[in-house]
Structure 1
Amino acid sequence: MAWLDLRFALVALLSMPLFLGLAMGIGALLRPLQSHVQACTAELSVALQESLAGIRVVKAFAREPQQMAHVDRVATALYEAYLRVAHVQALNLPLLTLLLSLAIALTLYIGGQQVIDGTLQLGSLVAATGYLAQLAQPLRRLSWLTGMASRCQAGGARLFEVLDTSPQLRERPYARDLTRVEGRVHVDHVNFHYTDGVPVLRDVSFRAEPGTVTAFLGSTGSGKTTLAHLIPRFYDVSSGRITVDDMDIRDVSLASLRRQIGMVMQDTLLFSTTIRDNITYGLDDVSEEVIIAAAKAARAHDFIMQFPDGYDTWVGERGVTLSGGQRQRIAMARAFVRDPRVLILDDATSSVDMETEWLIQQALTELMAGRTTLIIAQRLRTLKMADTILVLEQGRIVRRGPHCELVEQPGLYRRIYELQLRDQDGTETALPTSCNSALASGDSALASSPADRRA
């Protein structure tokens, strides 16, 4: 355009910063709006997930209208956030087109004067305005890119906020693999808190040797589950240390530590896959015999075989197609099949009936041989089978010893026994002899399979 007239080139060059400045200004307005859209989208996802996951609770309390109203409010907020974005985006292209029209108008004004004066040919003026008009399509793309860039920037900011979060738990550079573990667990003067100034565990110390059963008992919030979570190093202790076979768990790799630990939590989680895959989760090349032996030991084999597809039955999201007791027994089979040297059971028989609990306890007697077993217990039968019971109160161990000793001593354990456990003495009647015969089918196979796998 400069060869036509320098003034035309000057008009075109001066308009470029205006175009870019307008696009950047619109982008600056869009970024916080797009961030608000991302936040509203997250709120809607949470509302939908809670409503669907808790649908039985919603129905049980007849809260369907209120829950629908809540989802509607969140969806409306997202709709309004999108509208505000659309209103700003709608200004982008018209304003860019307006600037282009002004540039063309200025070119026509300058060129028209020159055509009238005879210093410029009409064809040159038409060519100059044609060149400017060709900017229309790039400006449309610029308008679209402005909206996309602001949206990507808002989404990327939320994504990198997660990716850039430093993990609270890190392996040390010289961490070693934990191999050939016997299972000696030593908790040495451990203190722990989730938030500063609120201690959860205070100066907790105990030893658990292979072949022994250590039970934790205490009221809600006494720190039982927290203590169980510290051993596989889900959290790091605030002070003190925990060792396995005299090795500080902070000095070993997380994967090798957790391979030696089997856990059955009170809040059982099953994955949306088959029963077989849930039992063998985290393991490769597990034989069918070992899977069946683990299921029999957990008293899960019989109900699994009642399904048309047996071990290939799809359990649905979080095991929704199974009852609470069935999910818990599959979780126990998942722990048994790993052949762990340390077994942690967080009230693992809380969701099963008394007869199934009795069967599982008999299986545990076989499976716990040679292993270190830590149990968070609320039932009398479990407490009686423990070699040592640790009674926790406000994060401290206030009593320790076997059941027969603690029940004779005044204190928290005796109070809990009098209030909650004494009645269970009367319910521990002899179960049918058929229960005894059911034990032989699973225990011997599972008891021998770990040795075979280690060999």
Structure 2
Amino acid sequence: MKNENLKTFARLIGMLCRERRLAILTAVFMMLELGLLLLGPWLLGQAVDALEAAHAGPGDLAAIGARYAALFLGAALAMNVMRFFYTDTRGRMVHGIVASLRSEALRKIHVLSPAYYATTDSGAVLARVSRDVQKMRPFFGMALFTVLHLVLVAAGSFAVLAVYSPALSAVTAVCFVASLLMTIATARQLHPLSRRADDLYDGVALSIKENIEGVKVVKSFGRERLQSDRFRRHLGTFVESAIDVGNCWSFRIPLANALFGLCVPAMLVVGGWQVVSGVIEKGVIVACLFYAARIAHELQGLVRVVGVSQEAAVSAERLFELLDSDQVVTETETPTRLPDRIEGIRFEGLRFSYLEGEPVLRGVDLFLREGERVALVGPTGAGKSSLVSLLLRFFEPDAGRILLGGIDIRELPLAELRRAIGCVFQETFLFSDTLRRNLAFAAEGASDEEILEVVKTARLEMFVNSLPDGLDTVVGERGMTMSGGQRQRVAIARALISGPKILVLDDTMASVDARTERELVKALSKAAVGRTTLIVTQRLSGVLLADRVIVMDRGRIVDEGQHAQLYKRCAIYRTLFEGQVLEADTRPKKHGAIVI
């Protein structure tokens, strides 16, 4: 644990390289300020001895006093100028480091595979990027330079004390070491307590997040009191742990301060004896007491540093767990460009499992011809959505491969692969932004003409025209101000805006009513024209969009063909759609076809 803690601090200190120029300037200004600060007690001691040694008249005494006062004032003025530059550059450095950490964390969030999020609470991820990064800020802004300040002040003060009086220097050193050892012991005890408190905070953050996102469910079942009680339990456990941290701090730190506080009476005893013995002058005692007071002040700063540093180390450990996670889909070092024309999609011998020993796909072989519409059906857990996840390289197969136009997708740049595939998922996520920006999310530079074209294809014209600001209307978070059908049609338009060669519809109509379903079928039918389309569905309307239907069960393809053929010969298929066929048969017919 000790070595891990040291590695964490070494990595934190290494982050200064992210703002190297500002870090160097901050250190230079701090050392200049410190030099001027240490000059003050020396000038004061010199002034006392000069005034005591002077035998001139009042005018000469006033001149000596004025001279030293001017020197002292000049040093103080220069010190405050250096302090201003030190504070300014330090603030800029801290903001830069924190911003780069948050940016790095967000980049990592984007490249982590869904496997990471399957085993990590979203509240924990949110806490690492927000609260943990924020708790690291004081380490760079205060702790790091306070320690450096202490080292330089202690070194400079002890050097002066050793010149003035080795005995007083030794007294100060003994008290300093005793206080420092107590502070270090406190730091070691604080680390596990702080880690436990921060881990418990993840539960608090997750509870808040779930109550915000699930507020409709909570209200609809009248479970506000239950959720409040659960939140209070999470919060109470966290608060108890935080109090343990505070108790450790409040007991040990005053003791560390008291140990160095013994320095002053000890210096008065030893120094008084040396003055009486004629070893040192009175001005030396005055200067030495000021240097001791300076060290005491820095030690009090070190006390704050201990708490801040331990919190920063714990937060850094948690953030590094996120940044160092290897649950990512990697790209080849020499990627192959995707051809302009993709002559089909081939799944070869795909085997895949989320958990070892529990296979989800068991040797899937499938070929989709260019421009073909293929429906993928099967009971829950058959592996349909897993096939889509592998196509998008959210996960890697345990065995087998997927080819686009004869090229293994692992040889393609990830961004290029995913841009070639337009996806519409069952749950539509919309950002809290304008409708225009949501539609153009996959093609940031899309023109109004391109946006209006996909709006027309997705049959959104009437909805857009009904909005107060048209495309510039701000939709709520997750599109909460829109109906389910409207959100799905926005998702269809968004998937089409970048002109994908492949369209993937993953249970798009699973949670919509019959009227919305008919509207979506019309939009999807138009959207799929000229595109290789994979339709994952358990709705008859989705099947009727397809040229060919693939039936899956327990990770294998068990049959394929047309709807009418499969309904007659495949029991699994018939079980899936029997109720929907009966319902469809009761609807009006048009030219002998089922009207959806």
Alpha-carbon distance between aligned partners in 2 of 1:173 and 1:29, rounded to the nearest angstrom: 46
Question: Match for 2:545 among 385, 389, 392?
Answer: 385
* Superposition deviation, residue 318 in structure 1: 1.1
Contact 1:384–1:402 (Cα < 8 Å) also in 2:
no
Which residue type is aligned with residue 581 of structure 2?
A: R
Alpha-carbon distance between aligned partners in 1 of 2:207 and 2:235, rounded to the nearest angstrom: 9
* Superposition deviation, residue 8 in structure 1: 2.0
Alpha-carbon distance between aligned partners in 2 of 1:208 and 1:336, rounded to the nearest angstrom: 20
SS of residue paired to 1:235: coil
Question: Match for 1:423 among 546, 559, 582?
Answer: 582
Moved over 6 A (4+): 115-123
Which residue type is aligned with residue 341 of structure 1?
A: K
Alpha-carbon distance between aligned partners in 1 of 2:497 and 2:466, rounded to the nearest angstrom: 21
Question: Match for 2:376 among 216, 221, 231?
Answer: 216
SS of residue paired to 1:234: coil
1:227 matched to 2:381? The reply is no
Alpha-carbon distance between aligned partners in 1 of 2:290 and 2:180, rounded to the nearest angstrom: 21
Alpha-carbon distance between aligned partners in 2 of 1:44 and 1:169, rounded to the nearest angstrom: 30
SS of residue paired to 1:193: strand
Deviates more, 1:360-369 or 1:392-401: 360-369
Question: Match for 2:318 among 154, 158, 161?
Answer: 158
Alpha-carbon distance between aligned partners in 2 of 1:131 and 1:384, rounded to the nearest angstrom: 88
Question: Match for 1:145 among 299, 302, 305?
Answer: 305
1:12 matched to 2:172? The reply is yes
Contact 2:457–2:523 (Cα < 8 Å) also in 1:
yes
Counterparts of 1:7-406 in structure 2, within 5 Å, are 7-111=167-271, 128-406=288-566
Which residue type is aligned with residue 293 of structure 1?
A: E
- Aligned partner of 1:452 in structure 2 is none
Unaligned segments of structure 1, at least 5 residues: 437-455
Contact 1:183–1:371 (Cα < 8 Å) also in 2:
no
Q: Deviations over 1:230-279 (max 9, x none)?
A: 11211111101100101100111111111111110001111111111111
Alpha-carbon distance between aligned partners in 2 of 1:269 and 1:54, rounded to the nearest angstrom: 15
Q: TM-score, normalised by structure 2?
A: 0.68
Alpha-carbon distance between aligned partners in 1 of 2:348 and 2:166, rounded to the nearest angstrom: 85
Contact 1:93–1:140 (Cα < 8 Å) also in 2:
no
Give the structure, 1 or 2, with the largest relative contact order (CA under 8 Å, sep 6 or more). Answer: 1
Change (3 A) 1:276 1:351: farther
Change (3 A) 1:136 1:424: same
Alpha-carbon distance between aligned partners in 2 of 1:297 and 1:122, rounded to the nearest angstrom: 93
SS of residue paired to 2:557: strand
SS of residue paired to 2:365: strand
* Superposition deviation, residue 153 in structure 1: 1.1
Alpha-carbon distance between aligned partners in 1 of 2:472 and 2:201, rounded to the nearest angstrom: 37
Change (3 A) 1:123 1:347: closer
Alpha-carbon distance between aligned partners in 2 of 1:121 and 1:359, rounded to the nearest angstrom: 98
* Superposition deviation, residue 428 in structure 1: 4.2
Change (3 A) 1:311 1:352: farther
- Aligned partner of 2:58 in structure 1 is none
SS of residue paired to 1:389: strand
SS of residue paired to 1:408: helix
Change (3 A) 1:346 1:124: closer
Alpha-carbon distance between aligned partners in 2 of 1:379 and 1:168, rounded to the nearest angstrom: 33
Which residue type is aligned with residue 266 of structure 1?
A: Q
Q: Deviations over 1:178-235 (max 9, x none)?
A: 1303351001111111121110001111110122111111111111111111112111
Identify the structure with the greater helix proportion. Answer: 2
Contact 2:164–2:284 (Cα < 8 Å) also in 1:
yes
Which residue type is aligned with residue 193 of structure 1?
A: S
Alpha-carbon distance between aligned partners in 1 of 2:368 and 2:279, rounded to the nearest angstrom: 102
- Aligned partner of 2:567 in structure 1 is 407
Alpha-carbon distance between aligned partners in 2 of 1:370 and 1:127, rounded to the nearest angstrom: 88
Alpha-carbon distance between aligned partners in 2 of 1:41 and 1:30, rounded to the nearest angstrom: 16
Alpha-carbon distance between aligned partners in 2 of 1:84 and 1:426, rounded to the nearest angstrom: 69
Deviates more, 1:349-358 or 1:388-397: 349-358
Contact 2:559–2:570 (Cα < 8 Å) also in 1:
no
Which residue type is aligned with residue 224 of structure 1?
A: K
Alpha-carbon distance between aligned partners in 1 of 2:282 and 2:375, rounded to the nearest angstrom: 99
Contact 1:297–1:360 (Cα < 8 Å) also in 2:
no
Change (3 A) 1:109 1:389: same
Alpha-carbon distance between aligned partners in 1 of 2:512 and 2:524, rounded to the nearest angstrom: 15
Change (3 A) 1:368 1:410: closer
Alpha-carbon distance between aligned partners in 1 of 2:492 and 2:587, rounded to the nearest angstrom: 23
SS of residue paired to 1:233: coil
Alpha-carbon distance between aligned partners in 1 of 2:348 and 2:555, rounded to the nearest angstrom: 14
Residue identity (%): 35
Q: Deviations over 1:58-104 (max 9, x none)?
A: 11221111111111222222322332222222235422321122233
Alpha-carbon distance between aligned partners in 2 of 1:183 and 1:68, rounded to the nearest angstrom: 56
SS of residue paired to 2:233: helix
Change (3 A) 1:183 1:26: farther
Q: Deviations over 1:266-300 (max 9, x none)?
A: 01111111111111112133222222221222222
SS of residue paired to 2:427: coil
SS of residue paired to 1:200: strand
Change (3 A) 1:241 1:8: same
- Aligned partner of 1:440 in structure 2 is none
